[in-house]
C-alpha cells in the first residue's frame, strides 16, 4: 500500500487525504483495542490435519514449535483462509484439493487458529458482519435500503443510504476507500506472515489473508477471489488475483464502480489479474462425466430425485427451509424425493429442526460423524437412497466438506447463490443474502448449471416440483456441466496453483484431459 502526499493509492488510484486520515485512525483504534505489538514474533510449525489429512494430505500451520518447520522446498503450497461463513473455507479446500492433485502438499493456515491479534480482530469484525447479515434476512427495510447497498455499492435511497452506511458499517465494500481501510487493518497481521518463507507459494481465499501476506513481505501470493460482483476490498496490490468469471475479470480490470462519484479509474495492470475459472475441488471436477451420467441414469430409472439442502448457522432462512422440508415430506413418502439436509456444525439448528420433524421420525436418518457420512455417500453412489437424511458435525472441516462430498451422489442442490453457486452440480438458487450474491446466481443460470434466483418460497417450491417430476431441466443442467468442464470453466483451483508455483496447467477441450507442467 503506497502513500503519496498524504493520500493512499491502489494501482495509481488515490483516495482523499481525509479518507486516508480516517483509515490511519481506524488502524490505530484496532491496534490500541487489541494490544498490537509491532515487535511481536511468531513461532510456527507444521502438524498433520486431524480432519481432512487423509482426504488430500492436508497439514496445519499452527502457532507452536512442536511440529515440523515451514520450509519453501518446492513441495508445499500454503492455503491461507479464515472462517467467515463457509465460503472462504470452501475456496481454500478447493485450493488444497487441487494442490494435492498437482503433486504438492497443502499447508492450511487459518488466521482464526493463530492466537493473537489476528484472532482478536477477525472475530470482532465477523461478529458485526453476522449481526448485519442476520438482520438483513429478518428486516426487508434494512435489507433493501442498507444491506443491499453495502454489499453492492448501489444506492437505493440516497439520504438513508449515506447516513446508515456511514454510521453502521463505514463504507460500502465496492468503493476504493474500503480497500485501503481493510489493508491497513490487515497490516496488523504482518508479523505472522513475516515468519514464513517470503517466496513460498501461497493461495488465499479472503482478502485479509492476502493483504496480511503482502504486508508481511510475501512475494508469491495468489488470491482465489470470491463472488461474481467486483468490489474494491478484494484487491491487494502486490498479489496475483484469480478471478472466476470473464465479467468479473473486466470489472476488476477497470475498477468498475470503485469510485464513489463514478469517476473512471486507472485500470489494473494485466499481470495482476487472471481469469482462471471456478475454484472447485479436484475430486468433483475429475468425476463430472461419471457423476452426471449417474444422475441421468437414476432419473430414467425412476429413482427418487436426490435433493441436498445446505443450511447456514444464522438461522435467518429457517422459514424457507421449513417450507422446503414440509413440501418435500409427502414426496419423500411417495418415493419421489430423497432429501439430504446438511446443518454443518450448527447444533442449534438441529435442536430447532428435530422438533419440527417429530411427526416424521419414520423417515428420518441422522449422520453425525464424518466416517458415517462418507460411508453412506459411498454406499449410495451405486445404490439406493430413500428417506430424509440429516447431517451434523462437530468441526468446520467436516461441516464444509460434507456438502462437497455429497455433491457427487445427489441430483440437485438447493442453496443461496454464495460460493456454492460456482460448483458443478445442478442447482436451485434460493434467495440471496446480500446483493453481491445475485451475480453468482446470474453466472450459474447463464452457464446452464442452475436455475435463476428464486426469490420467494412459492418460486422455490415450483423449482423443486419441476426438477422432481420432469426431466428436461436436469438433462439440460447435466449436459451443460459436462460441456463447461471441457472448456475449463471449473479449472480455477488448478490454475491458481499453477500461478502460485510457476507451473503451467492446460486442459484439452476435445478430450477433457488435463496437463500440469512444473516449473523448471
pLDDT digits (tens, 9 = 90+) for 269-291: 999 999 999 999 999 999 999 99
User: In three state form, how does the secondary structure of 422-472 look?
Assistant: HCCCCEEECCCCCHHHHHHHHHHHHHCCEEEECCCHHHHHHHHHHHHHCCH
% of the chain beyond a pLDDT of 90: 82
Is pLDDT at 229 greater than 80 in this prediction? yes
Whether residue 132 is contained in a domain is answered as no
Between CA 518 and CA 198 the distance in angstroms is 20
Between CA 257 and CA 439 the distance in angstroms is 15
Please report the pLDDT score of residue 436 as a whole number: 77
> Both 413 and 463 in a single domain?
yes
Whether residue 151 is contained in a domain is answered as no
Whether residue 146 is contained in a domain is answered as no
Q: What is the CATH number of the domain that holds 439?
A: 3.40.50.2000
Boundary of a domain, candidates 226, 257, 275? 275
Please report the pLDDT score of residue 152 as a whole number: 59
Find the mean pLDDT for residues 473-498: 98
Q: Other CB atoms closer than 10 Å to residue 166's CB: what's the count?
A: 11
Query: What tens digit of pLDDT does each residue of 407-454 get?
Result: 999 999 999 998 999 999 999 999 887 777 889 999 999 999 999 999
> Both 371 and 472 in a single domain?
yes
Which contiguous run of DSSP H or E holds residue 98? helix 87-101
Q: Is residue 253 a contact partner of residue 175, using CB atoms and an 8 Å limit?
A: no
> Both 262 and 304 in a single domain?
no
> Both 241 and 378 in a single domain?
no
Is pLDDT at 162 greater than 70 in this prediction? no
Whether residue 429 is contained in a domain is answered as yes
Whether residue 104 is contained in a domain is answered as yes
Find the mean pLDDT for residues 246-263: 93
> Both 299 and 446 in a single domain?
yes
What end-to-end distance do the CA atoms of the chain give, in Å?
A: 32
Domain with 365 in it: 282-486
> Both 243 and 357 in a single domain?
no
Is pLDDT at 169 greater than 50 in this prediction? no
> Both 247 and 323 in a single domain?
no
Whether residue 203 is contained in a domain is answered as yes
The DSSP code sequence of 333-386 is HTTSEEEEEE-TT-HHHHHHHHHHTGGGGGGEEEE-SHHHHHHHHHHHTSS---
Grid cell, residue 93, equals 479446500
Rounded mean pLDDT of the chain? Answer: 91
> Both 204 and 110 in a single domain?
yes
Whether residue 433 is contained in a domain is answered as yes
Q: What is the CATH number of the domain that holds 255?
A: 3.40.50
Question: How many structural domains are present in the chain?
Answer: 2
Is pLDDT at 375 greater than 60 in this prediction? yes
> Both 266 and 325 in a single domain?
no
> Both 252 and 346 in a single domain?
no
> Both 307 and 382 in a single domain?
yes
Boundary of a domain, candidates 246, 275, 304? 275
Boundary of a domain, candidates 220, 245, 275? 275
Query: What tens digit of pLDDT does each residue of 92-147 get?
Result: 999 999 999 999 999 999 999 999 999 999 988 877 666 656 666 666 666 666 65
Instruction: With cut-offs at 50, 70 and 90, classify the pLDDT of residue 175.
Output: confident
> Both 241 and 377 in a single domain?
no
Please report the pLDDT score of residue 191 as a whole number: 97
Please report the pLDDT score of residue 167 as a whole number: 43
Between CA 256 and CA 264 the distance in angstroms is 8
Whether residue 232 is contained in a domain is answered as yes
% of the chain beyond a pLDDT of 70: 90
Find the mean pLDDT for residues 395-404: 96
Instruction: With cut-offs at 50, 70 and 90, classify the pLDDT of residue 170.
Output: very low
Considering only residues 446 and 169, tell me which one the structure prediction assigns the higher pLDDT. 446
Amino acid at each position: 500500500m503506497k502513500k503519496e502526499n498524504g493520500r493512499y493509492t491502489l494501482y495509481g488510484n488515490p483516495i482523499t487525504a481525509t479518507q486516508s486520515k480516517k483509515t490511519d485512525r481506524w488502524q490505530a483504534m484496532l491496534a490500541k483495542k487489541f494490544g498490537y505489538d509491532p515487535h511481536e514474533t511468531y513461532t510456527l510449525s507444521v502438524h498433520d490435519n486431524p480432519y481432512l489429512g487423509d482426504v488430500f494430505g492436508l497439514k496445519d500451520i499452527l502457532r507452536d514449535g512442536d511440529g515440523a518447520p515451514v520450509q519453501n522446498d518446492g513441495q508445499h503450497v500454503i492455503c491461507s483462509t479464515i472462517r467467515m461463513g463457509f465460503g472462504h473455507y470452501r475456496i481454500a479446500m478447493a485450493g488444497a484439493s487441487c494442490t494435492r492433485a498437482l503433486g504438492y502438499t497443502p499447508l492450511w493456515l487459518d488466521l482464526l487458529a493463530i492466537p493473537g491479534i489476528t484472532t482478536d480482530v477477525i472475530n470482532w469484525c465477523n461478529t458485526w458482519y453476522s449481526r448485519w447479515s442476520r438482520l438483513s434476512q429478518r428486516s426487508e427495510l434494512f435489507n433493501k435500503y442498507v444491506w443491499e447497498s453495502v454489499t453492492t455499492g448501489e444506492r437505493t435511497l440516497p439520504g438513508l443510504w449515506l447516513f446508515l452506511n456511514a454510521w453502521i458499517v463505514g463504507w460500502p465494500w465496492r468503493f476504493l476507500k474500503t480497500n485501503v481501510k481493510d489493508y491497513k487493518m490487515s497490516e496488523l497481521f504482518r508479523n505472522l506472515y513475516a515468519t514464513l518463507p517470503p517466496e513460498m507459494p501461497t493461495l488465499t481465499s479472503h482478502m485479509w489473508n492476502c493483504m496480511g501476506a503482502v504486508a508481511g513481505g510475501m512475494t508469491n501470493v495468489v488470491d482465489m477471489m470470491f463472488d461474481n460482483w467486483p468490489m474494491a476490498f478484494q484487491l491487494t496490490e502486490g498479489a496475483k488475483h484469480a478471478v472466476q468469471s470473464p465479467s468479473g475479470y473486466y470489472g476488476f480490470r477497470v475498477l468498475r464502480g470503485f469510485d464513489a462519484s463514478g469517476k473512471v479509474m486507472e485500470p489494473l495492470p494485466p499481470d495482476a489479474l487472471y481469469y482462471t475459472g471456478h475454484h472447485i475441488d479436484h475430486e468433483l471436477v475429475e468425476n463430472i462425466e461419471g457423476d452426471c451420467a449417474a444422475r441421468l441414469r437414476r432419473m430414467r430409472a425412476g429413482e427418487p430425485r436426490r435433493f441436498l439442502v445446505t443450511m447456514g448457522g444464522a438461522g435467518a432462512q429457517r422459514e424457507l427451509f421449513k417450507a422446503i422440508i414440509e413440501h418435500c415430506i409427502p414426496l419423500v413418502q411417495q418415493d419421489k424425493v430423497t432429501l439430504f439436509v446438511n446443518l454443518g456444525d450448527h447444533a442449534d439448528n438441529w435442536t430447532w429442526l428435530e422438533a419440527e420433524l417429530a411427526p416424521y421420525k419414520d423417515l428420518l436418518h441422522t449422520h453425525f460423524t464424518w466416517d458415517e457420512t462418507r460411508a453412506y455417500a459411498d454406499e449410495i453412489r451405486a445404490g439406493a437412497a430413500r428417506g430424509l437424511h440429516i447431517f451434523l458435525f462437530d468441526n468446520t472441516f467436516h461441516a464444509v466438506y460434507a456438502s462437497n462430498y455429497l455433491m457427487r451422489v445427489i441430483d440437485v442442490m438447493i442453496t443461496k447463490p454464495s460460493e456454492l453457486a460456482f460448483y458443478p452440480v445442478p442447482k436451485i438458487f434460493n434467495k440471496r443474502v446480500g446483493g453481491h450474491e445475485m451475480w453468482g446466481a446470474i453466472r450459474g443460470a447463464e452457464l446452464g448449471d442452475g436455475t435463476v434466483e428464486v426469490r420467494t418460497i412459492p418460486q422455490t417450491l415450483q423449482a423443486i416440483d419441476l426438477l422432481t417430476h420432469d426431466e428436461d431441466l436436469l438433462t439440460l443442467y447435466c449436459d451443460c456441466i459436462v460441456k463447461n468442464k471441457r472448456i475449463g470453466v471449473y479449472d480455477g483451483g488448478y490454475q491458481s496453483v499453477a500461478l502460485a508455483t510457476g507451473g503451467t496447467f492446460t486442459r484439452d477441450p476435445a478430450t477433457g484431459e488435463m496437463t500440469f507442467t512444473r516449473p523448471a
